[in-house]
Structure 1
Amino acid sequence: MMGHISLLDAIANGDADWLEPSYETNTQSVRHPIVGESSETLEILFDEDLLRREFVKRVIACPECGADHLKFELQCPDCHSGNTVPVDIHEHTVCGCVQPREAFSEDGVERCPECTSDIESFAEECELMGTMHHCRTCDGRFDSLTEYLDCPDCGPHTLTDVDTYRLHRYRFNEDRRGWLDRLVAMRDDLTRGLEADGYEIELGGHCAESAPRTDLQATDPTRETDLAVEIRDSINVETISDLQTVVDGTEAHPIVATAGESGSAATLAEEHGITVFEMGAANERTLNESVSGSSNHAIDRLFASVPNTSSSKALLPQ
């Protein structure tokens, strides 16, 4: 996932302790602050142990209009009437007759409707077998009723037809604070260095309203090449594939800035036209010096690694 450092920085250092969820009827979607409708983004970060997650509630919504104020109803399986009542079913232990309680009463006398013998003690001679549902509209009796959820605008829906949403809230995993601070510092060092070299910087991230972007985008109308920089502690095949997808169709040159040696992944990245810029401790010191104005070696080294350039100035039109 691209732009995750800038996104995590916004979550970890935002005003709210939690990104609280909300269900929106008009879009039939779950939204969170910062990421909009991109709950999948938060789930990815949770799976990577970068976020904490807590269940908030379940929302059941109409599959047609998205309304989440459905009413649970029970109805007769035959005539679909809601005019049903529960009735106790008893067995006459003498003859085995099984009937509702009221069937054992005739003219005020308790009598079995099957063997017609009088019942001296109903509690001793009859046993409760369970409960059935009696429909007063069609006079049917059923072991169970049809369950459905009624939308006031669209009508009834079965329980399997409705849409179900599990809403969670998320917060940054403070156990990863040191890791995040280190990568944010890398991003900020690059930002200051590129700004000192004349670039305009826009920090990236991911939200539902726009396409995924890298952690840092650098543009300068006087140069031929924009830069799309992703900050990673390490790179792999997935990183290369994701970055290539994000910059595909754009004029930006893709760069991955890493915290250490990238090994064989750097070779694979270069084969795909992606520049790998390793920022070890020594490199970070050099970059910090360039920010203060005493040196520009780190930025020159970055652009020297971009194909067909020997320094940042080489990108200027001739």
Structure 2
Amino acid sequence: MVSVSKLQLLSKLSDGTVEDFKPTVSDEGEVAYPETEDLLAHQDGTSIEALDALAGRGFLHKEYTTKVYICPSCQADGLQYITACPFCEDTHTIRTSFFEHEQCGFTAQSEDFEIGDHTETQQCPDCEKEIDSSNITIMQKQLCKGCGESFDHPSHRLWCLDCFYLSEPEKATEQTLYEYELTEKGENWHEAQVGTRELLADEFASRGFDVTLDAALQNDEDGDELYKVHIHATDELLNQRIVADIHSAVDSEKIKHISTVGKLFHAQPLLLATDESISDDVLQIANQHGVTMLWVDQSGSIRRYESIDDEYRPAGNIIDRLSSAVGFTSTKGD
């Protein structure tokens, strides 16, 4: 399976809560996927990282929508296009009328020629010759209000609304944004994984445990930090607690995650692997972290997943405690 948060993203699409995940860009240039923000835990990364991870496994289809640019100074997204003076980089530039005296080539703003409404001719401020509309050329140019320089073409810049850094476009990081929708593969995979989760939850419930699916656990010492697990099962009478995750592909990070949650909340950590091809190396890592591995046989029974090598078997006291409290049969690798 995937993390609890990513599974919840797939569930939102599967049950029709949302049709797809669309990006929004605020007036300040901040990119967000509103339908995902409240679900993701810190270990899932950003919304884009989580959605791309699901798309990478073929569970989501991504459709191009637009691009944004990342500030090279503070890493904020959604830079705003702006023009600037090529001489001093001031962004206060305006497009205004300039007059050029054709005989001497003097060029200045129209008001510098002091052409009044009631004057048919006037002098050029540079050569002091009389001029009229027949010997001047009117043109549009950019004028910098910062340094006073005029120019034909401003510099193109991207402006960060967070730190106010002006960046050359080629120095900003381009980020492509997509819409994400559930694929048929994602739908089928989600259905199978949710079914396995419910199977394990039913096992706990049948043995008197109170079961919570997609549990978000909070440790008082960590403040607002939430730790999400696929299943949290408790038996207050026996003072027993279990945290369990279900994954199709198991690696050391998934083992360490459920082990950490188990230690923080004084719970027995379990990990159910839906892919039977679990190596002894993975089982050894699980054993080292006190995590009991489970699997589902063809009859739908949940069993402990043990290594053929006795050295890598979970410690006896863990097995004994689980056998009495949960009642899983142990045959895998025996």
Normalised-by-shorter TM-score class: 0.5 to 0.7
Equivalent residue, structure 2, for 1:215: 230
Paired residues of 1:218 and 1:227 also in contact (CA < 8 A): yes
Equivalent residue, structure 2, for 1:262: 278
Equivalent residue, structure 2, for 1:185: 195
Distance 1:168 1:134, change over 3 A: same
Cα separation, 1, equivalents of 2:18 and 2:12: 10
Paired residues of 1:89 and 1:131 also in contact (CA < 8 A): no
Distance 1:265 1:12, change over 3 A: same
**SS of corresponding position for 1:248:** helix
Equivalent residue, structure 2, for 1:99: 108
Distance 1:10 1:197, change over 3 A: farther
Specify which of 117, 138, 152 is matched with residue 129 of structure 2: 117
Percent of residue pairs bearing the same amino acid type: 18
TM-score by length of 1: 0.63
Distance 1:115 1:29, change over 3 A: closer
Q: How far apart are residue 7 of structure 1 and its match?
A: 5.2
Cα separation, 1, equivalents of 2:298 and 2:37: 30
Paired residues of 1:254 and 1:274 also in contact (CA < 8 A): yes
Distance 1:206 1:32, change over 3 A: farther
Q: How far apart are residue 194 of structure 1 and its match?
A: 1.8
**SS of corresponding position for 1:214:** strand
Distance 1:159 1:190, change over 3 A: closer
1:203 aligns to 2:213 (yes or no): yes
Distance 1:35 1:134, change over 3 A: closer
Equivalent residue, structure 2, for 1:236: 251
Compare 14-23 and 89-98 and name the one that shifted more: 14-23
1:161 aligns to 2:173 (yes or no): no
Equivalent residue, structure 2, for 1:17: 19
Equivalent residue, structure 1, for 2:142: 131
Compare 92-101 and 5-14 and name the one that shifted more: 5-14
Letter in 1 for 2:193: L
Letter in 2 for 1:198: G
Distance 1:197 1:29, change over 3 A: farther
**SS of corresponding position for 1:226:** strand
Cα separation, 1, equivalents of 2:141 and 2:25: 41
Equivalent residue, structure 1, for 2:291: 274
Equivalent residue, structure 2, for 1:36: 38
Equivalent residue, structure 2, for 1:290: none
Q: How far apart are residue 112 of structure 1 and its match?
A: 1.6
TM-score by length of 2: 0.60
Paired residues of 1:36 and 1:207 also in contact (CA < 8 A): no
Give runs of aligned pairs for residues 47-126 of structure 1, distance below 5 A.
47-48=52-53, 49=55, 50-51=59-60, 87-106=96-115, 107-122=119-134, 125-126=136-137
Give runs of aligned pairs for residues 143-162 of structure 1, distance below 5 A.
159-161=161-163
Cα separation, 1, equivalents of 2:289 and 2:142: 70
Cα separation, 2, equivalents of 1:6 and 1:111: 77
**SS of corresponding position for 2:260:** helix
**SS of corresponding position for 1:185:** helix
Equivalent residue, structure 2, for 1:5: 7
Distance 1:40 1:229, change over 3 A: same
Question: Which consecutive unaligned segments of at least 5 residues does structure 2 have?
Answer: 69-81, 83-91, 166-175, 219-223, 307-312, 327-334
Paired residues of 2:21 and 2:33 also in contact (CA < 8 A): no
Equivalent residue, structure 2, for 1:66: none
Q: Which has the higher contact order (CA 8 A, sep 6+)?
A: 1
CA offsets, 1:118-141, max 9 Å, x none?
335446x43626132669xxxx84
Distance 1:143 1:244, change over 3 A: farther
Letter in 2 for 1:96: G
Compare 264-273 and 87-96 and name the one that shifted more: 87-96
Q: How far apart are residue 109 of structure 1 and its match?
A: 0.8
Question: Which consecutive unaligned segments of at least 5 residues does structure 1 have?
Answer: 59-71, 73-81, 146-156, 288-297
Give runs of aligned pairs for residues 299-310 of structure 1, distance below 5 A.
301=304, 307-308=316-317, 309-310=319-320
Paired residues of 2:12 and 2:18 also in contact (CA < 8 A): no
Q: How far apart are residue 17 of structure 1 and its match?
A: 2.0
Cα separation, 2, equivalents of 1:20 and 1:158: 23
Cα separation, 2, equivalents of 1:191 and 1:315: 14
Q: How far apart are residue 143 of structure 1 and its match?
A: 5.0
Cα separation, 1, equivalents of 2:249 and 2:323: 28
Number of residue pairs matched?
260
